[in-house]
Amino acid sequence: MTTLTAPSPRTLAPRTRPWEGLVQSATLSWRTLVQIRHNPMELIDFSVQPIMFLLLFTYVFGGAISGSTDDYLTFVLPGVIVQNSLFGTLNTGVGLNTDLAKGVFDRLRALPIARWSPLAGRIVADMVKQAWAMALLLGLGAIMGFRVGTDVASVVGAFALMLGFAMAFSWISVLVGMLVNEPEKVMIFGFSVMFPLTFVSNAFAPTGTMPGWLQGWVDVNPVTSVADAVRGLLVGGSVAGPVGTSLLWAAGILVVFAPLAVRAFRRRV
């Protein structure tokens, strides 16, 4: 006679401590960054695109808008930094959606790690790429003749402000990436929103040169506030007002979209 043994109940993985979740997030961030060594094409959006925009805007529109390319470079470089950072947030949603489609999160879910660590790891890795793109733009701008008119602390503040705003804005991309079933749909949605949001601002042209009915929208556009803040920190001028407004916008976006994105992430994963 054979004796049947009832299968033992599956034991659940112990709850992950917060500091362990942070370590796991850092590990997954490093995983994302290491992939660049094997697939350098991942840096194209953070390298080629910002260079192309800065060169085109400076040498094609500079003379018409500011009278000289040197003057326009001083005005437009902070705007290109803001525009490129916001467009770069789309990569977060696209990357997460791609990982879901490939089953990466199914494999990670079987590991004893915090459920939020893959999401946090992806966002942190993309912030590192954002910092690279900003440094690249400042380096190219210096070669083209751009000169920082402030001090080192202000430049660091510009980096911190832009990365903080981009991190808050990336939650919109995360939410879209969790709701759609194809990475291409994230890009379609993003470009439909990003183009009017960034171009109908003072990132590339002074507000006073626009029609009166359009200036009202430009003044309340969050991209305008961030562009003014980064411009003030890099070139000089008013800083406190634009920085405060930018931080309020970042906090509002984070409070609204981060919980929605996490909720959609938990349902999807």
**What one-character-per-residue DSSP string does 67-78 give?**
SSHHHHHHHHHH
Angle at 53 between CA 50 and CA 58, to 5 degrees: 125
On the question of pLDDT at 142 being above 90, the answer is yes
* Cβ-based burial of 229 (10 A; exposed 0-12, middle 13-18, buried ≥19): buried
pTM, two decimals, is 0.84
Query: How many residues would you count in the chain?
Result: 269
For position 13, what pLDDT does the model report?
44
28-32, 36-40, 174-178, 225-229: which range is least confident on average?
36-40
Among 46, 18, 41, CA closest to 125: 46
Give the model confidence (pLDDT) of 206-233 as tens digits: 998 889 889 999 999 999 999 999 999 9
Residue 12 amino acid letter: L
- Cβ 30 vs Cβ 128: under 8 Å: no
% of residues, the chain, pLDDT over 90: 38
The owner of tokens 């950072």 is: 85
Torsional sign, CA 220, 242, 86, 65: positive
Residue bearing the bigger pLDDT, 217 or 8: 217
